[in-house]
Amino acid sequence: MQFSRFGERYTGEAGILQLMDDLGDALATDERVYMMGGGNPSHIPEVQAYFRQCMERLLQADGAFERMIGNYSPPAGDKAFRAALAHLLRQEFGWPIGPDNVALTNGSQTSFFYLLNLFAGPFADGTRRRILLPLPPEYIGYADVGIDGDIFIANKPDITFLDRHIFKYRVDFSTLTVDDQVGAICVSRPTNPTGNVLSDEEILRLSDLARAYDVPLIIDNAYGTPFPHIIFTDARPIWDEHIILCMSLSKLGLPGLRTGIIIANEEVIRAVAALNAIMSLAPTTAGAALTYDLIVSGEIIRISQKIIRPYYRHKAEQAIAWLHEAMDDLPFYVHAAEGAIFLWIWFKDLPITAAELYRRLKERRVIVVPGHYFFPGLAEPWPHKDQCIRMTYSQDEETVREGIRIIAEVVRRVYDAA
């Protein structure tokens, strides 16, 4: 059977496919697997209890459950939910938005498939534009979404060492170039995979650059504020007419409901609604229905700030302590954990590639993600890309601690052999 070029492109090797295959295989086996690669959020009992209450209210309300499962939403998503979210963001931050500035999609991955292809690739005037990533490493799921092939330009980051085993990437504005080839600027905040949080100053500088070149600044806020607020530094949410803010219900603890949220100007929202209609008729209704009351009451912000944020902050600090316990004699650095649910570990001058390290760890039933997948658009040779891995700390304590111990054991053997 022969596939089209589209089919060949989207059925070939991809980092996000490997990641999700590993996750599925780990869940399907009876063997103990230390699943430290995927982005599945923790099952936080107190948060899950809220969602159970929401579902019970939904089931008891006259006709609400039947409408959720029996009706299509409009192409931009449930209007009541969009109006409630716009009201909440207007109330909390003073943003001049209404329901026509909000669209829902079938998950953030769908959001970025739409947005990155809207602003990159061939244009009607004969030009070809690309997405500028100012701070790689960036989310693995971006890398393969471009219908027109490689659609990224990335700017090598600046590295700052904060102590003997902690480092941080920063945007290198001295080398960051925006020109007519750039169709949009895109950052995640907090950054997946590193847990980096761009400062307000960095975001505003990127916003000024985007405005000056009349391109959008796309901010992936899947882990950010005001919800799920897995962010451990001071950072205020920023929005403007030229900013496209992407949010999600997944990291609240609802990944199975596949609900992405896009906050943008009305032209972008109309484009997203059109794509929804063509690609899937309409976005799912379940996420909007289940969380509607939490949005209307603003309780979603309290849950995020008072339960979700401290839960993950504790787990991050605990995991970093275990890294030090297991690896202090090794030449490792971990990126400053400022948010999200991952640790980004750099093994300086690693004698093998991160891909080979991934393979050896997989033999020990420890699943991580090799770092080279996270640098789309950075064409220049840089050994650093093959010396890093991403691991999650969202799993149970035994899995994370034992997984770290096995990682240290395997890496120590690699250095000793060299």
pLDDT digits (tens, 9 = 90+) for 37-71: 888 899 999 999 999 999 999 999 999 999 999 99
Q: Are 230 and 195 in contact (CB under 8 A)?
A: no
CA distances from 258 to 86, 310, 416 (A): 20, 24, 45
3-state secondary structure 118-140: HHCEECCCCCEEEEEECCCCCCH
pTM: 0.94
Across residues 229-253, what is the average pLDDT? Answer: 96
> What's the CA gap between 190 and 339, in Å, rounded?
5
Per-residue pLDDT at 20: 63
**Domains, the chain, ordered by start:** 5-47+303-417 (3.90.1150.10), 57-302 (3.40.640.10)
| pLDDT classification of 22: cutoffs 50, 70, 90 | low
| Structure token digits, residue 168 | 């941080």
Per-residue pLDDT at 38: 81
Task: Please check the confidence at residue 27 and state whether its pLDDT lies above 60.
Answer: no
Q: Cβ neighbours of residue 143 under 8 Å, at least 6 residues apart?
A: 14, 15, 16, 152, 373, 374, 376
Per-residue pLDDT at 31: 77
> What's the CA gap between 76 and 278, in Å, rounded?
12
If we measure between CA atoms, which residue out of 32, 31, 22 comes closest to residue 398?
Answer: 32
Per the prediction, the chain carries an average pLDDT of 94
> What's the CA gap between 171 and 378, in Å, rounded?
14
Provide the total of helices (H) and of strands (E) in the chain, helices listed first.
Answer: 13, 16
**DSSP states of 57-73:** HHHHSTTHHHHHHH-PP
| pLDDT classification of 335: cutoffs 50, 70, 90 | very high
On the question of a cis peptide bond just before residue 228, with omega within 30 degrees of 0, the verdict is yes
Sign of CA dihedral 232, 237, 243, 247: positive
If we measure between CA atoms, which residue out of 215, 143, 150 comes closest to residue 184?
Answer: 215
> What's the CA gap between 254 and 238, in Å, rounded?
24
Helix axes 108-119, 266-280, angle to 10 degrees: 120
Question: Residue 160 carries which DSSP code?
Answer: E
pLDDT tens figures, 358-397 = 999 999 999 999 999 999 999 889 999 999 999 999 999 9
> What's the CA gap between 412 and 404, in Å, rounded?
12
With 0-12 / 13-18 / 19 or more C-beta atoms within 10 angstroms meaning exposed / middle / buried, residue 30 is exposed
Beta-bridge partner residues of 129:
121
| pLDDT classification of 149: cutoffs 50, 70, 90 | confident
